[in-house]
A and B are shown apart, each in its own frame.
Chain A
Amino acid sequence: MRSRGSIIGGVAAIAATFVVFVIPFLFIILMAFKDKQQSALRDFSWPNGFHLWDNLYEVVKTRNWMMITAFINSSLITVVSVTLLIVLAAMVGFVLARRKTRWNGLIEFLILAGLMIPPAVVPTIWLLQGLKLFGTLHGMILIQVAYNLPFSIILYRAFIATIPRELDEAAVIDGARPLDVFFRIILPLLWPVTVTNIVVQSVGIFNDFTNPLYYLPGNQNATVQLTLYNFQSQFSTAYNLLFTNIMLITIPPLIVFMFFNRQIVAGMTAGAVKG
């Protein structure tokens, strides 16, 4: 089937994407292998020696092994808030798609508003403080859930509408209570969209920088993006460390991606595009 034209096109596409997408990453990786002097040149050259381990060690041990704390915190925040997001958003999407009441309009409005309105930071801090949640991982998790709910709900709702209602009813006849219907029937069937949610939200939350900056002060609460920011001026003359840091914190999203790579498109088909 492959004509000569399509081979040439393929090679051209590979070359173009290599230049545009791969080279910046190679640059990051090469920088992470260099020593301080060579990295200061900021050029695309082969490392003079193998300094990756030194750089990694340097980055990880900076500021009292802050990177370790940060990885633990970020992972915890990401895993818990994505789990909560999935359950809460699917619950809302489920009832919203299934039950038509006069509240639906209001709820849809609130969801859209959540997508559009930029969060009011200082009143939020004041409120978290009142709830004794300011500067705690719990507070941060709830913030991430609140800010990302609308998008997750939208993804779910469209898909739930395509699940036949008869399934719910069959389950009820089988003796299921609403929670059984939700957790045993609906949630498993939402898997494709859940994958999309996991990928998009976990990457977003793991990479979030602004919110932890405000709501999660304190060294013991550092997150990985904050380490990058904190180290930025400390490493301002040490590009090798800066890029080692960037490389290091890109690994977890990469793992998520490799895990779900094949299923992402399916989830998008199911959720986002049906609208």
Chain B
Amino acid sequence: MAGLELKNIQKTYGKVEVIKGVDLDIEDGEFVVFVGPSGCGKSTLLRMIAGLEDITGGELYIGDKLCNDVEPRDRSIAMVFQSYALYPHMTVYDNVGFGLKLAKTPKDVRDQKIREAARILKMEHLLDRKPGQLSGGQRQRVAIGRAIVRQPEVFLFDEPLSNLDAALRVDTRMEIAKLHADLGATMIYVTHDQVEAMTLADKIVVLDAGVVQQVGSPIELYQRPQNRFVAGFIGSPKMNFVEVAVEAIGPDAITVGSKDVASLRVPAATAGISVGDTLTLGIRPHDLSPANTGAIVGRVAIVERLGNETIVNIELASGTAWLAVLDGDQALRIGESLALAAEPAKAILFDAAGKALLPTPA
């Protein structure tokens, strides 16, 4: 078993910088998720760890071993691909056993390992089939089985669920979580879906434009995003943002307001902020609730009634569109005016550069 250490990892294609110096520590046995929008470099980073891409600069340690120049097969890793990448001309049995065969594992040992993996994944009945005869979920299992059988120290998953339908995705996600619990191996998982990230990860790494935006536990990222990007990316539905002016600066709090938002006192770090500055106010849709005296007033544009909750799309005075997720069923008419109250403690202010002005934790 092994942890990983990335020191100032860089990747350039010609003059284009794709990964701009990533530092990261991954503990042994940790489940780490790389998340970010497409093109952020998360897959590239994973492939560099796998050894499928060359590392332009920096150092990659797996365990204590510098692995920049180590062949993929010698990195004690296994990888599950987005498209599963099963070998179409081989049976499931051979697919799973291919790596062992290449490693010249004796036939009986190989057979035992393949059957063990099949048992874990409940796919013993599929062993004689070819990938073309399998459903998407079954293929996914085979791909995982192929990884398990190698008994790697690090599992790498490259968007493994994106080709599955919604229901299957939830099931498989849980299976992967269970697998992690059972095997206790280090797992690195790439996704663009923050729900997967939140549900699976011990530690999430948010990437954007080749730069690590924040590393932390799911709750930490949700509650204390370090910048506007992370705040917007983590959490579903997305956090609402609006520009506001600083009206007053109090101890450990800033009072802000605009034509959209009546004065709101938000706990925040105040250093370097002065009255009259423009900041961005972020409030999560779940943190809004209907209140006649609410600080935020808008016009109802769309209403989605789900029964247990109601999702309202409102248009603020400035024209900014916000979402609110309200408890219970709310019969709202389109076009009517709606006032919402926000819980100031859960609101976050961002400075002009997008940095979160988080209050010092109590």
| CB nearest to A189 among chain B residues | B89
Segment 47-100 of B: residues with Cβ below 8 Å from A: 47, 50-52, 72-73, 77-79, 81-83, 85-89, 98-99
Q: Which residues of B contact A164 (CB under 8 A)?
A: 83, 85
* A171 contacts B98, C-beta separation under 8 Å: yes
* B50 contacts A173, C-beta separation under 8 Å: yes
* A173 contacts B79, C-beta separation under 8 Å: yes
What is the interface size of chain A, counting residues whose CB is below 8 A from a CB of the partner? 17
Known: A174-B99, A174-B102, A175-B103. A169 touches B73 (CB 8 A): no
Residue of A167, A169, A173, A176 ringed by the most chain B CB atoms within 10 A: A173
Min Cβ gap A174→B in Å is 3
* A170 contacts B85, C-beta separation under 8 Å: yes
* B102 contacts A173, C-beta separation under 8 Å: no
Q: Which residues of B contact A184 (CB under 8 A)?
A: 98
Min Cβ gap A180→B in Å is 6
Q: Is the interface of A mostly helix, strand, loop or mixed?
A: helix
Q: Is A185 an interface residue (CB 8 A)?
A: yes
| CB nearest to A168 among chain B residues | B85
* A167 contacts B85, C-beta separation under 8 Å: yes
CB < 8 Å: which of A166, A172, A176, A185 contacts B83? A166
Min Cβ gap B53→A in Å is 10
* B73 contacts A172, C-beta separation under 8 Å: yes
The complex places the Cα of A128 from the Cα of B124 at a distance, in Å, of 58
The complex places the Cα of A224 from the Cα of B319 at a distance, in Å, of 85
* B52 contacts A185, C-beta separation under 8 Å: no
* B102 contacts A167, C-beta separation under 8 Å: no
The complex places the Cα of A127 from the Cα of B72 at a distance, in Å, of 44
Q: Which residues of A contact B51 (CB under 8 A)?
A: 172-173
Q: Is B228 an interface residue (CB 8 A)?
A: no
CB < 8 Å: which of A167, A170, A180, A191 contacts B79? A170
The complex places the Cα of A143 from the Cα of B35 at a distance, in Å, of 55
Since A169-B79, A175-B102 are in contact, a sample of 9 more A-B pairs with Cβ atoms closer than 8 Å, ordered by chain A residue number, is A170-B146, A171-B87, A172-B52, A173-B72, A174-B73, A174-B99, A175-B72, A176-B102, A189-B87
* Chain B residues packing against A (C-beta within 8 Å): 47, 50-52, 72-73, 77-79, 81-83, 85-89, 98-99, 102-103, 146, 150
A–B pairs, 18, beta carbons within 8 Å: A164-B83, A164-B85, A166-B82, A166-B85, A167-B87, A169-B52, A169-B79, A170-B79, A170-B86, A173-B73, A173-B77, A174-B99, A174-B146, A175-B72, A175-B99, A175-B150, A189-B88, A191-B89
* Chain A residues packing against B (C-beta within 8 Å): 164, 166-167, 169-176, 180, 184-185, 188-189, 191
